[in-house]
Amino acid sequence: MENLSSEWYNRPPVKILTHVVAWAIVLTLPYLLNGDHNEGHPPDHEGRGQQLMYVNFLTNFLWIGAFYLNAGWLTPKLFSHKKYVLYIGSLILLFGLILAIHAFLFVDVFSIHPFSIKRASGFLLSTFLLAIAISTTFRLVRDRIDADKMAQERQAENLKTELSFLRSQINPHFIFNILNNLVALERMKSEELGPTILKLSALMQYMLYETGEDKVPLSMEIEYLQSYIDLQRQRFGKNMPIFVSMDEPEGAYEIEPMLLIPFVENAFKHGAGMIDQRAIHVDLHVEDGVLYFGVKNKYNADSTEVKDKGSGIGLTNVKRRLNLLYPSGHSLQIMQDQGWFRVLLKLNLH
Q: What CATH number has the domain bearing residue 237?
A: 3.30.565.10
Shared domain for 313 and 181, answered yes or no, is: yes
Out of 149, 180, 205, a domain closes at 149
Residue 47 has a pLDDT of: 56
Residue 167 has a pLDDT of: 42
Answer whether 0.85 is exceeded by the pTM.
no
**71, part of any domain:** yes
Shared domain for 239 and 276, answered yes or no, is: yes
**165, part of any domain:** no
Shared domain for 230 and 334, answered yes or no, is: yes
**156, part of any domain:** no
Residue 211 has a pLDDT of: 62
**131, part of any domain:** yes
- Three-class secondary structure assignment of 297-337: EECCCCCCCCCCCCCCHHHHHHHHHHHHHCCCCEEEEEEEE
Residue 315 has a pLDDT of: 77
Q: How many structural domains are present in the chain? A: 2
Shared domain for 136 and 68, answered yes or no, is: yes
Shared domain for 69 and 175, answered yes or no, is: no
**160, part of any domain:** no
Which residues, other chains included, contact 262 with Cβ-Cβ below 8 Å and sequence gap of 6+?
169, 314, 315, 317, 318
Out of 88, 115, 149, a domain closes at 149
Out of 98, 115, 149, a domain closes at 149
Shared domain for 116 and 257, answered yes or no, is: no
**164, part of any domain:** no
**161, part of any domain:** no
Shared domain for 286 and 340, answered yes or no, is: yes
Shared domain for 64 and 137, answered yes or no, is: yes
pLDDT in tens, the chain (350 residues): 444 444 565 677 887 787 778 667 766 765 566 554 444 444 444 456 677 777 777 887 888 888 889 988 999 989 988 899 999 999 999 999 988 998 888 877 777 777 788 888 888 888 889 889 988 998 998 888 888 888 887 777 775 555 455 444 455 656 776 777 788 778 877 777 888 888 888 777 777 766 667 788 999 889 889 988 888 887 777 788 899 999 888 878 999 888 888 899 888 888 877 777 888 999 999 998 999 999 999 887 666 554 544 445 567 778 877 887 888 889 999 999 888 999 999 999 87
51-59: list long-range contacts, CB under 8 Å, 24+ apart: 51/110, 51/112, 52/112, 54/110, 55/102, 55/105, 55/106, 55/109, 55/110, 55/112, 58/105, 59/98, 59/101, 59/102, 59/105, 59/124
Q: Domain span at residue 303? A: 170-348
Would residue 39 be called left, alpha or beta, if left means φ above 0 and alpha means ψ between -120 and 50 degrees? left
**154, part of any domain:** no
Shared domain for 130 and 179, answered yes or no, is: no
Residue 291 has a pLDDT of: 95
Shared domain for 186 and 315, answered yes or no, is: yes
Shared domain for 116 and 25, answered yes or no, is: yes
Shared domain for 117 and 224, answered yes or no, is: no
